[in-house]
Amino acid sequence: KAGVTQTPRYLIKTRGQQVTLSCSPISGHRSVSWYQQTPGQGLQFLFEYFSETQRNKGNFPGRFSGRQFSNSRSEMNVSTLELGDSALYLCASSLGQSALDTQYFGPGTRLTVL
Amino acid sequence: QQPVQSPQAVILREGEDAVINCSSSKALYSVHWYRQKHGEAPVFLMILLKGGEQKGHEKISASFNEKKQQSSLYLTASQLSYSGTYFCGTDGQGAQKLVFGQGTRLTINP
């Protein structure tokens, strides 16, 4: 099976712009979670989707949003970019909706905000 | 609430042992361990459940102390391939999502 794929892999934007990141989960996986990774902060949970519904949301401002499509592919959007949004954005897919399900991470999208 | 990992970083020589700790202020139902090598995605290592037994695979094992709300990851006779950042993810019963620690960077030198 193909792994989790994320596009694009690298992105450079300027402050104030908006960005959309895409994640394709492993075939058959219905849950997709998004994380922001910055040095020293570890993996900060953004949100989780299961069957097109957002089930959980982390402590991020409303500028961060996401959605999931019927084929389980997911997108996250960040509007009005700030310098502090520069980070590696990881998505992870799992088979079901339980926190006990193993998460399979994608390679991430490296976002740089200038 | 984010679990706290210690140490933040450790440097070892090949063959030495390491212990990485993960503590939470909340009651835990499960603890998950992942390893991320530089420039790669995090990869699942193991999961420990409340009331479950200590898990292990070859020279990497982990324990889960429910009363202390902490887990420890043990790497014995470390190999160069063990280098990377180790994350613990914790799940409070009913939380339905993992909260990851800030990571522990492990460097193994020849």
Question: Among partner residues B5, B34, B97, which is closest to A56 by beta-carbon distance?
Answer: B97
Inter-chain CB proximity B100 and A35 less than 8 Å = yes
Inter-chain CB proximity B44 and A104 less than 8 Å = yes
Query: What is the spatial distance between Cα B24 and Cα B43, in angstroms, rounded to a whole number?
Result: 22
pLDDT-based confidence at residue A73 (cuts at 50, 70, 90): very high
pLDDT tens figures, B12-56: 999 999 999 999 988 888 899 999 998 899 999 998 887 766 666
User: Smallest Cα–Cα separation from B65: which of B100, B24, B106?
Assistant: B24
Chain A: nearest CA to B40, how far in angstroms?
Answer: 6
Chain A to chain B, count of Cβ pairs less than 8 Å apart? Answer: 60
Neighbours of B19 (CB within 10 A): 15
Most A CBs within 10 Å, among B98, B100, B105, to test the A interface: B98
For the ranges A29-43, B74-88, B94-108, which has the lowest average pLDDT? B94-108
- Adjacency order of strands within the sheet including A74-78: A5-7, A19-24, A74-78, A64-68
pLDDT tens figures, A40-61: 778 899 999 999 999 888 889 9
Inter-chain CB proximity B41 and A43 less than 8 Å = no
Q: Tell me what percent of the residues of chain B surpass a pLDDT of 90.
A: 60
